[in-house]
Amino acid sequence: MLFHRLDFFAFFLVVLALYACLGKRAQNTLLLVASYYFYAQWDYRFTLLLFGVTLVNFVFGHLIYINKGHAKLWLWSSALLSLGVLGYYKYYNFFIDNALAFFAMMGLPFSSQATAVILPVGVSFFTFQALSYPIDIYRGDTRPGSASHGDLTFSSAVGDFLDFALYVSFFPQLVAGPIERSRDLLKQILADRQVTRDQIETGLWLFCLGLAMKIGVADEIAPQVDAVYANVAAHSFWAIYAATVAFALQIYCDFAGYTFMARGVASLMGFTLTNNFLQPYLASSFQDFWRRWHISLSTWFRDYFYIPLGGNRHGPVRTYANLAATMVVVGLWHGATWAYVLWGVFHGALLAVERFAMGKIKILFPGLALTGFGALAASAAGRVVVLQGVLAGWFLFRVGDLSVVSRIVEEGKGWTWGGFADLPLSFPDALPYVSFLLIVALYETPCYRRGEEIHPARFSAPHRTALYLVLAMIIMSSVGMKDAPFIYFQF
């Protein structure tokens, strides 16, 4: 059930109508039932997996809270069970395929009758979201809902479990995030909610913006990107570069579009979800890029992996190693292929080199402070360099198979400049996307400077009307043209 399909609109209208007529406890029950129904539309069998991950982390979270002496044991048990299940579904096929390739390389006759494991949609997202609960309880950042009232009885634990189950399965962000923390979303589930006019306006704006980005931009660009990447070795450098730029736009509009729609749906019911994107392609550094791209994932790894490894507290060499290890795991989180691992290694190297270079600059040029045109030129040059690095990473990400890269080097045209006739998009084809981006950029630029995101309430009525008309035109011209799933559903 995808956000841009009619069946979701029908589903959500029914849920919203019932939701408006109920009190908080009944609303939570309704949302829990609706969330499991929503997930069951993909494959009802995996609702048991969703329930199991929820139950494991809830039980161990409570054990951590009531038994401080064995808290670390319960935490590790919760993490091993959750990550073990995630590893089985996500990396079983990867392990079998690579084991068979290794045996073949060694000349050992070995075959496997193992059945390929289906990857449940959204498993990486809801597993990480559930696991943050026992971790936060262990750290003292949150506690079971009934503990706030000193009532850890069986009946209160049942109520806590239903609320926690909704936190893990909340349908707007269940299958592709943003990955919420218990101290944020669970707190809203436990609190009384009243939908305000501002939340309704915010919800409608975010949903319409996300829908336009998904069906009006991402899905329209996808065929041109696919055409080049289906046979990368047969295309010139400029064609591959243009397709990679198009993919950068596609994946942003697809993933950010989903997040905006998820936040919009949640806002219409009185919830506030994490802002997962903040103009990432305008980042001033590679570190800044990860502060702006998939924010909920990067902060999850920062808080629960990078900092526990030691972060930047044990000298530069250890810091570089921690950055590399974190980004390798981020790459593996995205998918069980060596291309994703290399993508993670590449970004880890970019972060390490950037940190090393900045440290050397501070030593060699103490007190260096550019002003005026020098500062502007340095800022622009830095953003261009960062964007090119990000695009190189997107190439590795989109290729998906390292053998393709070797074919480009050995037999392809990827190292020739080629001509503009080889480009995947002509200027007339690209004009609608460029126009959309210019319009959004016109409104986002002042917001970017303030560290905010675009919102029509900040503009005058004529500007708001113009924005909504542009979105309406894009949506109406694209409805029914494509029916592509969201890219991050496969992660």
Sign of CA dihedral 346, 352, 355, 360: negative
175: nearest Cα among 365, 395, 386, 2 = 2
For residues 412 and 5, give the distance between their C-alpha atoms in angstroms, rounded to a whole number. Answer: 40
Residue 350, CA distances (Å) to 232, 234, 284, 324, 339 in order: 25, 29, 13, 9, 16
* DSSP string of 414-445, one letter each residue: TTS---GGG-SS-HHHHHHHHHHHHHHHHHHH
Q: 3-state class of 455 per DSSP?
A: coil
Q: How far apart are CA 349 and CA 332, in angstroms?
A: 16
- Whether 105 and 69 have beta carbons less than 8 Å apart is answered as no
Percent helix, strand, coil in the chain, to 5, is 75, 0, 25
Contact at 8 Å (CB) between 78 and 56? yes
Spell out a b/e string for 53-87, using b for 16 or more CB atoms within 10 Å of the CB, else e.
bbebbbbbbbbbbeeeeebeebbebbbebbeebbb
Q: What DSSP designation does 485 have?
A: P
Q: Where are the beta strands (DSSP E) in 65-144?
A: none
Can you give the C-alpha Rg of the chain in angstroms?
24
Q: How far apart are CA 31 and CA 37, in angstroms?
A: 10
Given phi > 0 = left and psi -120 to 50 = alpha, else beta, which region is 5? beta
Active site residues: 334
Amino acid at the residue 342:
L
Question: Which position has the token pair 């991402």?
Answer: 218
* Close Cβ partners of 363 (under 8 Å, ≥ 6 residues apart): none
Angle (deg, nearest 10), helices 123-139 and 71-105? 150
Query: Residue 144 and residue 46: Cα distance in Å, rounded?
Result: 26
Instruction: Please tell me the distance from the alpha carbon of residue 258 to that of residue 263, in angstroms, as a whole number.
Output: 9
